[in-house]
Amino acid sequence: MRALRFTRFGPPDDVLEVAEVTDPDIGGGDCLVAVKAASVNPSDLKNVAGAMEGTVLPRIPGRDFAGVVLEGPRDRIGAEVWGTGGDVGFTRDGSHAELIAVPGAALVRKPERLSFAEASVLGVTFVVGWLGAVETALLDKGETIAVFGVSGGVGGAVAQIARVRGARVIGVDRVAPAEDTPAAWAIEHFVPLTGDAGDIGSAVRRLTGGIGADVVYDAVGGVTTPAALSSLAPRGRLVVISAVGTRTVKIDLVDFYHREARMLGSDSRKLDCVQSAERLSQLAPYFEAGDFHPLPIARSFTLEQGRNAYSAVAGHLPGRVVICP
């Protein structure tokens, strides 16, 4: 089969190559899937660059995919499926290839409302969104959540999850979501990510009667952490999934404990492909019902254009990037 592959870490333009590799072997309970579409996530770029832990070389990258089962249990052959996982592309070969082999338990039937391309961009974004907002922060109906990075893939997913679960959503970002995107529909108010942390926190508090947000989901992290903390209500929960610009931040501990604030880490890399499938199974009915909407796709690339796909993500192209082998 044809696949994107890297044998050493470095810039994708330097280390990624399209190669002929042996078709994956499958054992009992495994399935062989023809990849119809696979998204390129920022974490895929970090993986190729060597900025992620645990990757075993040589490796085919790519966490998310949607496709058709070619081999496996008889009742699965021909099924249209989607999948993702914190091990996919790191310790097991990933989705930027014509074929991928995964345990049958890692596959969920693709919602019929979604095309292969649409389904392929939802794994990481919605799984980590669900993991952080629902499982970690325990976001409840009637609460207010401020989503930092709301115009991005994860932020847009979190906004939809929160809105459908009955929360009030405040979006925070440098640029407001485009009017025709799901994130724009999901948020009630928008706060520009400009000025100092206090200004942003004050804006969020003004929108919440001076209290602040019950939950802040910071899909950026690092440079935004002071503003995220400033936006929290007393006993509020801050969810952190990333650290952009800096790994360390200063916290006023006296203010932190007086407000009884909580900072919670959420890492979808800890969920392997089977555990991720459990979350996709919970998400699928929302897509089937039309409650969740697919994220906008900016461009699709062939496998041979794989380096260009990675460059598009590195250049912060608005919208999701897809490889269609």
Task: Report the alpha-carbon distance of residue 325 to residue 98 in Å, rounded.
Answer: 5
pLDDT tens column, 240-295: 999 999 999 999 999 999 999 999 999 999 999 999 999 999 999 999 999 999 99
Residue 168: its H or E element:
strand 168-173
Tell which residue, 232, 187, 239, 188, has the closest CA to residue 210. 232
pLDDT of residue 115: 97
User: CATH number of 2-122+294-323: 3.40.50.300, 3.90.180.10, 3.50.50.60, 3.60.20.10?
Assistant: 3.90.180.10
At 2, list the tokens: 């044809």
Q: What is the secondary structure of 204-258 as a DSSP string?
A: HHHTTTTS-EEEEEESS-BTTHHHHHHTEEEEEEEEE---BS-S-----HHHHHH
Domain boundaries in the chain?
A: 2-122+294-323, 124-268
Question: For the purposes of burial, counting CB atoms within 10 Å of the CB of 185, is it exposed (0-12), middle (13-18) or buried (19 or more)?
Answer: middle
Confidence of residue 148 (pLDDT cuts 50, 70, 90): very high
89-107: average pLDDT: 97
Fold agreement (2-122+294-323, 124-268): yes
Topology of domain 124-268, per CATH? Answer: Quinone Oxidoreductase; Chain A, domain 1 (3.90.180)
Q: What is the pTM of this model?
A: 0.95
The model's pLDDT over 25-65, given as tens digits with 9 standing for 90+, comes to 898 889 999 999 999 999 999 999 999 999 999 999 999 99
Tokens, residue 313: 């993500």
Looking at residue 15, its pLDDT comes to 97
